[in-house]
Structure 1
Amino acid sequence: MRIVFMGTPSYATTILEALLQHSDIDVVLLITQEDKPVGRKQVLTPPHTKAWLLEHDLHVEIYQPKSLRGDEAHAKIAALKPDFIVVAAYGQILPKAILDIAPCINLHASLLPKYRGASPIQSTLLANETFAGVTSMLMEEGLDTGAMLGFSYLKIEPKHTSTLLFDALATLAAKLTVVTLENFHSTSPLTQISANATHCKKIKKEDGLVSFEQSAQAIVTRFKALSPWPGLFLESGLKLLELEYNDENENALGGVIQAIKPEGIMLTCKKGSLLLKTLQPISKNAMSAVDYIRGKRLNIGDTLV
């Protein structure tokens, strides 16, 4: 079967790799976002899917349109006569003209109809869900509203950060994509019940702001969901790069240094405490929390900020 694949980050690359390894699947085109300047030096950097194809010298045509709206994109895709268009974290809404070329199958990283939208994995962690998963679905003009074709899920473990969960779900999505394509014509699509739907917004920098007036558990939850980006930071700009949950004890004040250990500092929250291991002050390199408080001449009983 002939496949046009649309995807941008590493999540999509894992799915693309599975498609390319399948003997009955011919990926005739990769559509991905434009190269973008990255980092302080603004180095022009290709999307992960494109970089992976080039690194492995795989001869799949790459197309990076600014927009899918217009005659050029439609004509290019239609001329290839794909059997399916497979979409995974592409980053643009598909217009109706593209949706009408062939069945469009999206691999959305949530158990729909929960967490439609831009940040399903982070939102799943922020909500302290027990399970996370991937849904294969037929695309329509609505955002993640199409009929569902299949599911794959896993139990969320204490070790799961958004990065680890992205990788785990990408592996599930790759297997689910192949199964969905192989069984497409014998599958009865399941209509989503919109009354059960939830929506998640795009993650922004300010979502990483935390305070020790929050509970230790709430901070750890946000740390798992929002690392590595935007990460967690205090009002002062101090970044919390590495931390662990300690206990649930009630405290009179948050932000007080309880103990200093070789591996980090014990710090109170309004409820519970944290072990802070690595911090990063504004415009400085990351450092151990112990070195940070020594530099600030702070000791047990002092407040961190």
Structure 2
Amino acid sequence: MKVIFMGTPDYASRILETLIAQHDIEVVAAYTQPDKPVGRKKVLTPPPVKTVAEAAGIPVFQPERLRDEATVETLQAIPCDYIVVAAYGQILPKAVLAHAPCINLHASILPQYRGASPIQQSLLNGDKETGVTAMLMEEGLDTGPILATRRIAIGDDETVGSLFERLTDLAADMTPEVLRSYSTLTPVPQNDADASLCKKISKADGEVAFDDARTLYNKYRAFTPWPGVYLSGGLKLTKMHLAEEEGSFVPGRILAVEKSQVKIGCSTGALWIETVQPPSKKAMAVIDYLNGKRLGLDDTLA
């Protein structure tokens, strides 16, 4: 079968690699976002999907706007059986949706967490499970009928990095299966009453206060390594774990000091913090930070 692939980040590139490896699937074109400047030197860098596609000799298209008439006409001239979409970053217009069945691999159990940050949102909410949904696309944002769902448990201390890896593997494994069994699948409409949305993560989302320990810890799980969690003064909390979910303490007060960690009180609960990163400096052991600031028991971490 012939497939047009649309995607941009690592999540998508791993799915593309799996499709390329299949003996009965031919990826005839890859659509991805334009190259972007990265880092302080603003080096123009291709998205991971482009790198994988070019290495496999697959034609790559990087339109600024998928909706442009010329772009749509070019795509329509490419014969295919399916269009597979994974974190592409653009809305597909009607003309593209009509070209072939468009199957999206979304990293949540739809209709939960439609939108840009489903993996982070599952951690923010302290969910016990998540998964990947293969969905037949329509014009709405992640609103199309469901073709298949795979579920996995979320570890109590799991962070976005490990969860991302496991969901990527899950999506990559299920994509060829969905394509091969497509003719036998019955698309199931989503229940919009159960739907929830999640937004694109910004740097500002990482600012935290010592209010609720569980909430702060879930933000740490969701936002490490980017944008990280940091106090209003700029101190980043780079390694922590939950100490207590109950009890009321002075926010930020140092409750205990051990060899490699300190216990910090929150309005509700407490956290063990192991490493921190002051503004414009490298991450360091929290004990070294306390010594440098001459802080100890009953002082406030800030």
Same fold (TM over 0.5): yes
> Which SS does the other structure have where 1:183 is aligned?
helix
Give 1:249 deviation, angstroms: 4.6
Gaps of 5+ in 2: none
Equivalent position of 1:50 in the other structure? 50
Mapping of 1:232-271 within 5 angstroms?
Answer: 232-271=229-268
- Partner Cα distance (1:227, 1:286) in 2: 13
Equivalent position of 1:198 in the other structure? 196
Equivalent position of 2:5 in the other structure? 5
- Partner Cα distance (2:267, 2:69) in 1: 58
Alignment counterpart, residue 86 of structure 1, candidates 75, 84, 87: 84
Query: Is 1:228 paired with 2:251?
Result: no
Give 1:84 deviation, angstroms: 0.5
Equivalent position of 1:25 in the other structure? 25
- Partner Cα distance (2:301, 2:157) in 1: 27
- Partner Cα distance (1:252, 1:16) in 2: 50
Equivalent position of 1:303 in the other structure? 300
- Partner Cα distance (1:93, 1:69) in 2: 8
Query: Is 1:218 paired with 2:215?
Result: yes
- Partner Cα distance (1:229, 1:72) in 2: 37
Give 1:130 deviation, angstroms: 1.7
Runs of 4+ in 1 over 4 A off after TM superposition: none
Alignment counterpart, residue 285 of structure 2, candidates 276, 283, 288: 288
Mapping of 1:47-126 within 5 angstroms?
Answer: 47-54=47-54, 57-126=55-124
- Partner Cα distance (2:186, 2:141) in 1: 21
Whichever residue aligns with residue 205 of structure 2, its letter is: D
Give 1:205 deviation, angstroms: 1.5
Give 1:185 deviation, angstroms: 0.9
Equivalent position of 1:187 in the other structure? 185
After TM superposition, the score normalised by the length of structure 1 is 0.95
Mapping of 1:101-180 within 5 angstroms?
Answer: 101-180=99-178
**Aligned-CA RMSD value:** 1.3
Q: CA deviation digits over 1:66-125, x for unaligned, max 9?
A: 110112221222221111110000011111111111110000111111111111111111
Q: CA deviation digits over 1:199-232, x for unaligned, max 9?
A: 11111221111111x1211111111111121110
The question of whether the paired residues in 1 share the 8 Å contact of 2:136 and 2:147 is answered with: yes
> Which SS does the other structure have where 2:217 is aligned?
helix
Gaps of 5+ in 1: none
- What percent of counterpart residues are identical? 47
Whichever residue aligns with residue 41 of structure 1, its letter is: K
Whichever residue aligns with residue 170 of structure 2, its letter is: L
- Partner Cα distance (2:203, 2:31) in 1: 28
- Partner Cα distance (1:51, 1:22) in 2: 19
